[in-house]
């Protein structure tokens, strides 16, 4: 079927809340390239929203899944477990920067991991309160929607939200919130909303994903760690989007000396297969009683086998170093654009988790979400899949596969540059 025929089916049978705005339907893909049902080719700078750090159809992952298909597709691990579940748990417990000896449990998606992390923290502390941060994104289930710090389009129609979830400011110096401001805001929450002795967990993304690719400083994360230790609060670090080599480390938290009580991970964990994990201090993870965690499809054999292949590929193919190098290339190009385009500002990256702001002018720093939307739309017309994000919707984020070929990367950046030139009428930055 072609795009037009598939769009007719979509408009007739797919709920509008779940439908894509794109008129293109993916047919096949390879690494950082994608072809639609009409044969049109796209450079993919979205990576399935951070799911494809190793690219579309990485050979190791494909082979691992094919091999597993000939063995077992499903048993439900609570009925009869299988080797890949416990082997993956072992790997994640050794990789994740958590306090003391670790244990893990596997589920299906990032939101489900966050739901379970909160359940575990409440069980371990005997408390109910959860504190999150402005701009944070933790999922679309009702509990994680209450934790997500942005109303539109995620939570506008679905209230009321569960109680005992509170929000503090996220440090963002570019938009006037210093580390000190954020810490004072958190302490104010303790005074006005919930006391520390009733707080089970503080939940933070070390680099906000949907919130704009803003990184919390090591000093701020250390202050959170100290505050949690002082009051017996669980520090939950959400690495759903920042994990698995995106920042040049397995996890963004490794850029600091901080350890979490509980970590959540998903997206590129299995590079396209549905899988997420909660990893935490063994005593904390064991606080929830037998049979209280899990689900029918949790830690499916195909997904676990894919994740083991992902970890092996990251280690054997030096993808941590490759991610750091990719980030440097992106930053160099974006720095040039920041010089040459009045609309481009606040270039930032941690490894290859890179972004920049689009603003009306650099003096006022007024966000320009209309320009961001226009850039993504024009890029799509020219064969580049690009995503915006951010509290104001004006940040352009790059989630291109770390394995992208240099020529394909340059092609995508050239498209971005030409679109910026067309939309702003300004001189384009020179190719770097």
Q: Where in the chain is the domain with CATH 3.40.640.10?
A: 72-316
Is it the case that residue 254 has pLDDT exceeding 80? yes
Is it the case that residue 144 has pLDDT exceeding 90? yes
> From CA 392, how far away is CA 398, in angstroms rounded?
17
Is it the case that residue 153 has pLDDT exceeding 90? no
Q: What is the pLDDT of residue 432?
A: 38
* C-alpha 375 chain-centroid distance: 22
Q: Where in the chain is the domain with CATH 3.90.1150.10?
A: 3-57+318-424
* C-alpha 324 chain-centroid distance: 17
Is it the case that residue 429 has pLDDT exceeding 70? no
Q: What is the pLDDT of residue 89?
A: 98
Confidence of residue 265 (pLDDT cuts 50, 70, 90): very high
Tell me the pLDDT tens digit for each residue of 347-393: 999 999 999 999 999 999 999 999 999 999 999 999 999 999 998 99
Is it the case that residue 256 has pLDDT exceeding 50? yes
Is it the case that residue 151 has pLDDT exceeding 80? no
Q: 122-133 burial by CB neighbour count: b if 16+ within 10 A, else e?
A: bbbbebbbbbbb
**pTM score:** 0.96
Question: How many other β-carbons are positioned within 10 Å of the β-carbon of residue 51?
Answer: 23
Q: What is the pLDDT of residue 319?
A: 98
Confidence of residue 61 (pLDDT cuts 50, 70, 90): very high
Kind of pairing between the strands at 33-36 and 41-44: antiparallel
Mean pLDDT of 149-173: 88
C-beta separation of 148 from 155 below 8 A: yes
Is it the case that residue 150 has pLDDT exceeding 90? no
Tell me the pLDDT tens digit for each residue of 221-243: 999 999 999 999 999 999 999 99
C-beta separation of 277 from 240 below 8 A: no
Q: Which residues contact 362 (CB under 8 A, 6 or more apart)?
A: 342, 345
Q: What is the pLDDT of residue 200?
A: 98
Mean pLDDT of 24-33: 98
Whether the CA torsion 155, 190, 203, 354 is positive or negative: it is: positive
Q: What is the pLDDT of residue 426?
A: 63
Report the CATH number of the 72-316 domain: 3.40.640.10
Mean pLDDT of 293-317: 97
Does 432 or 208 have the greater pLDDT score?
Answer: 208
Q: Phi first, then psi: what are they for 273, rounded to 5°?
A: -85, 145
Is it the case that residue 431 has pLDDT exceeding 70? no
- Average pLDDT of every residue of the chain: 96
Report the CATH number of the 3-57+318-424 domain: 3.90.1150.10
Tokens of 157: 């129609």
Tell me the pLDDT tens digit for each residue of 326-354: 999 999 999 999 999 999 999 999 999 99
């Amino acid at each position: 079927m072609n795009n037009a025929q598939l769009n007719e089916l979509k408009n007739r049978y797919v709920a509008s809340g779940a439908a894509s705005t794109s008129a293109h339907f993916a047919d096949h893909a390879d690494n950082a390239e994608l072809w639609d049902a009409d044969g049109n080719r796209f450079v993919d700078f979205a990576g399935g929203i951070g799911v494809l750090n190793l690219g579309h159809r990485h050979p190791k992952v494909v082979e691992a899944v094919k091999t597993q298909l000939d063995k077992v597709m499903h048993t439900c691990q609570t009925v009869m477990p299988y080797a890949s579940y416990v082997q993956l748990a072992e790997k994640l417990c050794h990789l994740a920067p958590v306090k003391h000896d670790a244990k893990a449990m596997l589920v299906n998606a990032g939101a489900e991991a966050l739901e379970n992390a909160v359940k575990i923290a409440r069980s371990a502390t005997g408390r109910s309160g959860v504190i999150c941060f402005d701009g944070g994104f933790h999922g679309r289930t009702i509990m994680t929607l209450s934790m997500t710090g942005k109303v539109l389009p995620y939570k506008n129609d679905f209230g009321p939200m569960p109680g005992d979830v509170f929000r503090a400011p996220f440090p963002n110096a570019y938009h006037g919130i210093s580390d000190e401001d954020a810490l004072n805001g958190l302490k104010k929450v303790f005074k006005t909303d919930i006391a520390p002795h009733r707080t089970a967990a503080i939940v933070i993304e070390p680099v906000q994903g949907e919130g704009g690719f803003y990184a919390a400083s090591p000093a701020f994360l250390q202050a959170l760690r100290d505050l949690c230790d002082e009051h017996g609060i669980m520090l939950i670090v959400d690495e759903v989007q920042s994990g698995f080599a995106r920042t040049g480390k397995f996890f963004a938290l490794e850029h600091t000396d901080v350890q979490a009580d509980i970590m959540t991970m998903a997206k590129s964990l299995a590079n396209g297969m549905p899988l997420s994990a909660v990893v935490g201090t063994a005593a904390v993870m064991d606080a929830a009683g037998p049979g209280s965690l899990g689900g029918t499809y949790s830690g499916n054999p195909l997904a676990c086998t894919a994740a083991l292949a992902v970890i092996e590929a990251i280690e054997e193919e030096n993808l941590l170093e490759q991610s750091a190098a990719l980030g440097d290339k992106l930053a160099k190009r974006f720095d040039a654009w920041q010089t040459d385009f009045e609309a481009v500002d606040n270039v930032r990256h941690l490894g290859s988790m890179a972004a920049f702001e689009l603003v009306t002018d650099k003096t006022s720093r007024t966000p320009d979400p209309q320009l961001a939307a226009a850039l993504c739309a024009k890029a799509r017309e020219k064969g580049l899949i690009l995503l915006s994000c951010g509290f104001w919707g004006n940040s352009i984020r790059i989630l291109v596969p770390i394995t992208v070929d240099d020529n394909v990367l340059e092609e995508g950046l050239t498209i971005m540059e030409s679109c910026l030139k067309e939309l702003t009428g300004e001189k384009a930055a020179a190719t770097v």
